[in-house]
Structure 1
Amino acid sequence: MTIPVDIAALGARAAAMTEELGRISSAPDNLTRFFLTPEHRRAADLVARWMAEAGLGVSEDALGTVRGHWHPAGPDAPRLLIGSHIDTVANAGKYDGALGVILGILAVGAVAQAGLAPPYGVDVLAFGDEEGTRFPTTLSSSAACAGVFPPASLAATDGDGVSLAEALRAYGKDPDAIAAAAYDPSRVIAYVEAHIEQGPVLEVEGEPLGIVTAIAGASRLSVTVTGEAGHAGTVPMRLRRDALAGAAEMALAVERIARSDPHGMVATVGRMHVEPGSINVIPSRVVFTVDLRSGSDMSRREALTRFEREAHAIADNRRLGVVISAFHEVATVPCYRDLQLRLGNAVADLGHRARALPSGAGHDGQAMSKLCPVGMLFIRCRGGISHNPAEYTSPEDMGLAAAALIRFIERFQLPQRDGGTSGALT
C-alpha cells in the first residue's frame, strides 16, 4: 500500500513539536539541555507523551533513552530502529538531534495509523548523551543500546564533581541495569537517523534532503612547538627561534593537506596557547590542537603521516622543537549501501534528487554501528549553521523528511544478512 502523505501538515506538526521541545531549557534566554538534568527529564517526558499519542508503546532504559515501540508482528519479531538525541550543547539550536526524534515519531505514527502490518517492528529512540556536554562520555546512551557501554564511564564526573553513576541514581536509574539496555543483535535489522546536515552543501545545491555515505572518522592532535624567548626589539629576524611563527606555518600545512584531499577532508586548528604571551617577547612555546576528519580512514592516516613529516621539516628549518601527540581517534563509520539506496528511493518517490554526502559531525550512528547496519538522512539547514540559536530548517523540508521516512518504512522489506565479512544487507 501507499500511505497518503500531507507534506505541509507533517512539516507544520514537526515545526510545532520542535518549538515546544526547544522551550525546555535550563537557561532563561537560550536553549541549554544537558544529560540527566531536570530539563532532560522534562524533555524525555514530553517525547514519551508524543510517542504514546502516536500509538506507540513507551519504555525507558537505564541510561534514560526513551523508546517508542510499534510491534505489529509481536515483541519477538525483528525490528528497525529510528532515532536521534534530545540533549544539546550550551546555547544550542532547536533542530540538532531533536528533529530526528520528532520525525521518527511522526513517520512511525503515520505508518501505524495506516494499518500497515509488516513482519517486523520499529522502535523510535530518543537518546540523551550525544553531545557529551555534561560528562566526557559522548554516545553513552546509544552505546548502551548497542551493548558497548564502557563501565569505566560511570566514574566520569561533570563540572560539579558529580559522577555519571551518581547522576543516574538521582535521575531514578540503576547503573547495575545498564547491561539490560542492550538490544539483541540477532533481532535488530538496522538503525536509521534523520538529522540536519549541519553544513551548507544541500542549501548550495538546492536540494532539501541528502543521503549520508559515511560518518567521518576523526583524529585530534596536540602539537607542542618550542623555541626561544627573546626581546622583540633586539633579536634580528634571521636569528630568531619563534615558536609562534613555526606553529603558524604548521597550521597552514594542515590546511593545505586537507584542501588537497579527494575525500572531503576537513581540518581545524581550534586552540593555540602562546607563551610567554607578552607583546614585546618572542614566543618560546606554543601548544595548538588539530582536528582532522575524513570519510576515508586510509586518507586520514596518510594525512596524519604527511602532517607529521611536514611539521618536523618546518621545525628543523626554523631550529625549533616539535612534539605531536594524538589524544582522540574515532574510525570512519560507512553507511550501508543498501540503506543508502532505500533512503534514496524514498526521496526520489517524492520528486527530489537525494544528494550523497559524508557527515563531518559525529552521531549516535557511530555507536549503533557496533550493533547493526546504519543509515542516515540529512535535512537541509539554513546557512549550514548548527550548535547555534540561528540553526533553522524550514517546515517544508521537515515535512519532506517525514514523508521520506514514511516511504522508507512502508516499502522496507525484511532483509537477510549476506553472511560475508561486510555485514551488508541484501
Structure 2
Amino acid sequence: MTTVTGRPDGDSLLPDAERLAADLADLSTFSESGEPGWTRQIFSDPYRASRGWVADRMRAAGLETHVDPAGNVVGRLPGRDRSKPVLMTGSHTDTVHGGGRFDGIVGVLSAIEVARRLRETGATLESDLVVVDFLGEEANTFGISCVGSRAVAGLLTPEHLDRVDDSGRRLGDVMTAFGLDPQGALDQAWAPGSVHGYVELHVEQGPLLERSGHRIGVVTAIAGIERLLVQFTGRADHAGTMPMTGRHDALVAAAQAVLTVEREGCGAPVHGVSTTGRIESSPGALNVVPDKARIWAELRSIDAPWLSGAKRRVVEQIAADAEARGVSTLIEWLNDQDPVACARSMQDRIGAAADSLGYAWEAVPSGAGHDAAHLAHLGPMGMIFLPSVGGRSHVPEELSEPADIAAGAHVLAHTLVRLDRDTA
C-alpha cells in the first residue's frame, strides 16, 4: 500500500467512492428552506451550518483545522518538513441561487478524501497538505466573487469591503455580523512562493468531456470575466398618447443593449461568451413609457485581447444606441478578472497522473471563474475537470456520476503525490 519509507504511492490512494458519495449527500442537506435546488448562498444560516460540518469532516480526516479571518475553512495535514512551501487543494461549498450539489463541493470533499486516504495508508507527504473551503466563490449581491481566495492571495481590497448591496448593507459590516474579521482578511495574505503547487478538482460545468467520452479534463486556462451594470434614463410618458417617434424609452434601449451583449459573445474568434442575467425597469406600469432601466451583464474569455476589445466595443455600442433614442446611460464595471493560464508544469503533471492511472483525458479551457485563478499569485496552479452530465451547471439538475467523481479524486491524489516528490 505504501513504500517502505512511508512516502505515498499515488496508485494506492484510490478514494472510497461510497464514502465520498455519502459526504456529498450529507452536505446537500444544508440548503435554504423554500428556495429552489440546493441553494446555499454566502452569509446564509445554512451556509454557516455547512461550514461547521466541513470543519468537522476535516478534523475527522486528521487535518489541523481553523477558520481564518476571511472565513476560509482551512485544514492542514502535517508533512515531514513543515518549513517547505505547502501543497494546497480545495474549492468552495457555497452555491448560486437555485444551484446544484456538485459545483465546488466536489473539490472540497475530494480533497478531504485524499487526506483521509493518506492517513489510512500510513503515508506521509514531504510538505504539508493544506485543504481549503474558500468563502464565497460565487458572485454575490455585493458584486464580488471569490472573497476568501482573494484574501489568501492578497487581492481583497478596502474598496471591496466598502461595496454595498441593493439594501444598502456594506460587505465589511455583513462579514463582521457573520463572525469574520474584515481587517484581518485584508492583512492575511500568504506570501508569493509559499505554495509549491495548488491543484483544484472541479466539475466541468460544460459538455466537452461528456461529448468526447474522456474522464478527465486538464484545464489550460481560466476565463477572464468582465461584469457590468448599465443604467438607462429616458422619459416617462403616457403609453397611449405619446407617438412612437417621440419616445425616450429606457426599457427599449436596455433591450437593444441585451442584443448588443449577445452579438459580442457570438462573434468571439476563439473562446468567448456573453450573458445578460438581469434586467429591471420602472415605473413598471403597462400604460407608462419606462423612464428607467438597468441591466447586469458579463463577458468571459480566455483570450485577453478579445476580452479587452469586447469591453470597449460593448460600451461604445450601448451608449451610441441609447443616445439615438434620447436615452442617457451610466455604465459601471462591477468586477474584473483577467484570464489566467494554468502553469504548463501543472498541466503536464495532471496529464501524466491521468495517464498512469489509465484515465483518458483532454486539454480543455474553463469558461467559469474559480478560486484557482487567484491562487496562481502564490505558486504554480492547475485544475482537473471531471464530466458534467448534459453539461448542466448552476441549476438543480447539475449532476456528475459517482464513478467520475472518484476518478477525479484519484487523479487529484496522484497529482499531489507527484508534486510532493519534487520537494523531497
TM category, shorter: 0.7 to 0.9
What's the CA shift for 1:21? 1.1
| Counterpart check, 1:303 vs 2:310 | yes
What's the CA shift for 1:104? 0.8
AA in 1 matched with 2:350: L
| Counterpart check, 1:357 vs 2:369 | no
Specify whether residues 372 and 324 from structure 1 end up closer, same or farther in structure 2 by C-alpha distance, changes over 3 A only.
farther
Specify whether residues 341 and 83 from structure 1 end up closer, same or farther in structure 2 by C-alpha distance, changes over 3 A only.
same
**Which residue number corresponds to residue 335 of structure 1?**
342
**Which residue number corresponds to residue 20 of structure 2?**
14
Q: What is the distance in 1 between the residues matched to 2:45 and 2:295?
A: 36
Q: What is the distance in 2 between the residues matched to 1:155 and 1:314?
A: 33
Alignment of 1:322-401 (within 5 A): 323=329, 325-328=331-334, 329-401=336-408
**Which residue number corresponds to residue 24 of structure 1?**
30
Alignment of 1:5-404 (within 5 A): 10-27=16-33, 31-36=38-43, 38-133=45-140, 137-151=144-158, 153-154=160-161, 161=169, 164-165=172-173, 167-168=175-176, 171=179, 173-175=180-182, 177-178=184-185, 181-224=188-231, 247-274=254-281, 277-279=284-286, 286-311=293-318, 314=321, 320-321=326-327, 323=329, 325-328=331-334, 329-404=336-411
Q: Tell me the alpha carbon deviations over residues 190-242 of structure 1, each in whole angstroms, 9 at most, x when there is no partner.
A: 22211122223322333332122222112223445566777767777777766
Q: What is the distance in 2 between the residues matched to 1:309 and 1:161?
A: 32
Q: What is the distance in 1 between the residues matched to 2:144 and 2:298?
A: 19
What's the CA shift for 1:342? 1.4
Specify whether residues 210 and 321 from structure 1 end up closer, same or farther in structure 2 by C-alpha distance, changes over 3 A only.
same
Name the stretch that deviates more: 292-301 or 213-222: 213-222
Name the stretch that deviates more: 407-416 or 10-19: 407-416
What's the CA shift for 1:279? 4.2
**Which residue number corresponds to residue 420 of structure 1?**
none
Name the stretch that deviates more: 205-214 or 333-342: 205-214
For the 8 Å contact 1:146–1:371, the answer to whether it is kept is yes
What's the CA shift for 1:331? 1.7
Q: What is the distance in 1 between the residues matched to 2:242 and 2:305?
A: 44
For the 8 Å contact 1:335–1:375, the answer to whether it is kept is yes
Q: What is the distance in 2 between the residues matched to 1:231 and 1:169?
A: 46
Task: Using the aligned pairs only, state the percent identity.
Answer: 34
Q: Compute the RMSD of aligned alpha carbons.
A: 3.4
Q: Tell me the alpha carbon deviations over residues 310-366 of structure 1, each in whole angstroms, 9 at most, x when there is no partner.
A: 4466457x5544536232222222222221221122223333332322222222123
Specify whether residues 408 and 165 from structure 1 end up closer, same or farther in structure 2 by C-alpha distance, changes over 3 A only.
same
What's the CA shift for 1:405? 0.6
State the secondary structure of the residue aligned to 1:186.
Answer: coil
**Which residue number corresponds to residue 421 of structure 1?**
none
TM-score normalized with structure 2 length: 0.83
What's the CA shift for 1:268? 1.3
Question: How many residues are aligned here?
Answer: 413
State the secondary structure of the residue aligned to 1:349.
Answer: helix
State the secondary structure of the residue aligned to 1:182.
Answer: coil
What's the CA shift for 1:84? 0.8
- Structure 2 unmatched ranges of 5 or more: 4-8
Specify whether residues 48 and 74 from structure 1 end up closer, same or farther in structure 2 by C-alpha distance, changes over 3 A only.
farther
Q: What is the distance in 2 between the residues matched to 1:231 and 1:135?
A: 35
- Structure 1 unmatched ranges of 5 or more: 417-426
Name the stretch that deviates more: 226-235 or 209-218: 226-235
What's the CA shift for 1:400? 0.5
For the 8 Å contact 1:189–1:415, the answer to whether it is kept is no
What's the CA shift for 1:271? 3.0
Specify whether residues 277 and 66 from structure 1 end up closer, same or farther in structure 2 by C-alpha distance, changes over 3 A only.
closer
AA in 2 matched with 1:398: I
Name the stretch that deviates more: 174-183 or 379-388: 174-183
